[in-house]
Amino acid sequence: MRVLGIESSCDETAAAVYDTSAGLLGNVVSSQVKVHAAYGGVVPELASREHLRSVVPVVEKALTDAASGSDAIDGIAVTAGPGLIGSLLVGLCFAKSLSYAWGKPLCGVDHLESHVYAVFLESEVAFPYVALLVSGGHTSLFRVAGWREMKFLGGTLDDAAGEAFDKAAKMMGLGYPGGVVMDRLAREGDAARHRFPRAWLSHDSADFSFSGLKTALRTFLASPEGSAARVPDIAASFQEAIVDVLAGKALATARREGIPRLVLSGGVSANSRLRELARERGAAAGVEVFLPSKSLCTDNAAMVALLGERRLSAGFSSGAELNAYAASRFSR
């Protein structure tokens, strides 16, 4: 089965083609970073307009790269939510139109689920596994026992980890998006130079909190010590506070669940220090850590096409009533 996937939940317009036997055939991502950089964050209305401009050329390029005309496509998968509602609707309406015009089945997929299963584009992971999903909008832990079995174990009580990176970078005048810049700067800094707080919450909690850390950074930057500090040292110390908690809680959850497999997913799992720490601590704890390529951690449509292929192959499809949704369907 060959599936065209479309993703437009935030500020990336993406399309990909995934084939059951040939694997990933085309994978195109058009980023809107330049459009939003001037505002220091994603402007929802501008994002929707950019998706409208990009969706046709991006889908055409993915089909061309895959050497697939509409006849070769067996189904269309699209991100239905969660995300920015205007952005989601652009991808969703386009996917519905293609499904109707081509007479091919449609499959709405959840953005969180597609991140969590993206690892299968590169590796075979045995079920069950623990997944840490860390992105701009989400920081959650799941127990994944099958292609339709994803149990929410805990999540952030306030800011997402990516949001903390982005807001910190903004406070430090480093521009947008902040995560990648912080990651790069941190490599030249001393992570032990400044001590930022870690919110471990209760001993066995799979929940996270990053708002106190953000406030601590703001207070530090305004202090005489903060004004005199080297930017790379601040970036490295701040980043360490985030990744220490992410890796620590993810591995503690794997231990508590009795599962020796941990999968990282979402944009923040592209962070080089998080990857290093998860690998090191995983090896010490006897937990196999799976790290998808960075381009499969950030938003893409390859993960949408893959999940669509699995769902459509298993006989699940969506009707014309499929609608977009803004809020996460996973909660405690």
User: From residue 287 to residue 306, what is the string marking binding to Zn ion with x (rule CB under 5 A)?
Assistant: ------------x-------
Length of the chain: 332
Residue 182 or 259: which CB sits closer to ligand KG4? Answer: 182
The site partner of 268 among ligand KG4, Zn ion, none (C-beta below 5 to 8 Å per kind) is ligand KG4
Choose, by CB under 5 A, the member of 135, 209, 271, 317 that binds Zn ion: 135
Choose, by CB under 6 A, the member of 26, 81, 137, 308 that binds ligand KG4: 137
The site partner of 162 among ligand KG4, Zn ion, none (C-beta below 5 to 8 Å per kind) is ligand KG4
* Order of strands across the sheet that contains 129-134: 149-155, 139-146, 129-134, 261-265, 288-290
In the complex, minimum distance from the CB of residue 320 to ligand KG4, in angstroms, rounded to a whole number = 27
Judge contact between 138 and 270, C-beta under 8 A. Answer: no
Q: Show contacts with ligand KG4 in window 178-197 (CB under 6 A).
A: 178-180, 183
> C-alpha 117: how far from its chain's center?
11
CA separation, residue 88 to residues 13, 36, 98, 203, 248 (Å): 10, 17, 16, 38, 33
Q: Give kind and range of the element (H or E) at residue 130.
A: strand 129-134
Choose, by CB under 6 A, the member of 117, 165, 210, 220 that binds ligand KG4: 165
Q: Show contacts with ligand KG4 in window 271-290 (CB under 6 A).
A: 271
The site partner of 155 among Zn ion, ligand KG4, none (C-beta below 5 to 8 Å per kind) is none
In the chain, helix, strand, coil percent, each to 5? 45, 20, 35
Q: Which of 269, 202, 281 is nearest to 242 (CA)?
A: 269
135 contacts ligand KG4 (rule: CB under 6 A)? yes
Which residues contribute to the site for Zn ion (CB under 5 A)? 135, 299
Which residues contribute to the site for ligand KG4 (CB under 6 A)? 10, 135-137, 162, 165-166, 177-180, 183, 266-268, 270-271, 298-299
